[in-house]
Amino acid sequence: MDKTLKSGRHLTIHLKTTRGRRISSQRWLTRQLNDPYVHKAKKAGYRSRAAYKLIEIDDKFKFLKQGAKVVDLGAAPGGWTQVALEKVGPKGKVIGIDLTLMEPLQGALLICGDFCDPKVVENLKSVLEGEVDVVLSDMAAPSTGHSQTDHLRIMALAEEAFVFAQDTLRAGGTFVVKVLQGGTEKDLLGLLKKHFAKVVHFKPPASRSDSAEMYVVALGFRP
């Protein structure tokens, strides 16, 4: 980690109010400009600061191994896919899927499609060429501004990702999925504990402290 992140010191940039610009947009832009992970990601060539979330999750649990086959659900803009490619090496395989079209990444197979569409999921399964070692899901529905609705929507995506993981993971595989704290994630945890040897919550340091997001890491899949 660089000295800026270790010390917590970084240049604070203040934006003047521009006529016609929404306050929420100003706050988002100011936060981005002052976020050390944003600067670090740009310097390292990652497509998003979220890359560091996966780096920190894998540093803790060490499931992205050389030669592994990985599926990245909700991959755009590609930060997690980049990290997975680095970790699994040239003998590994990384497949990313997102509703948003992504710029190509050398070494990865990227699919543009709606993961909630059964036909798209079947197409995804057809290119896997067998079982996979890791299923990652950083999927999130567009925010409505209503916390309960947003929570239910992201949990629905998490459950879809779990169904996919059940169908595609090899024995001993790993499933990592984003959830929001709010109660209903306990239902998903109960299901995961029936199918994995170890299931834990983890909030990587790169996740903003004011965010309700966490990640469930499920290790040791039992088909």
Cα–Cα distance measured from residue 53 to residue 143, given in angstroms and rounded to the nearest whole number: 20
CB 79 within 8 A of CB 91: no
CB neighbour class for 46 (10 Å; exposed up to 12, middle 13-18, buried from 19): buried
Q: Which of 40, 62, 178, 186 is catalytic?
A: 178
CB 121 within 8 A of CB 163: no
Tokens representing 155 are 């949990």
Give whole-number Cα distances, 196 to 60, 161, 216, in Å: 18, 15, 12
Q: Which residues fall within 8 angstroms of residue 100, CB to CB, at 6 or more apart?
A: 76, 77, 112
Q: Give the number of other Cβ atoms within 10 Å of residue 114's Cβ.
A: 12
- Say whether 178 is catalytic: yes
Q: Which residues are catalytic?
A: 178
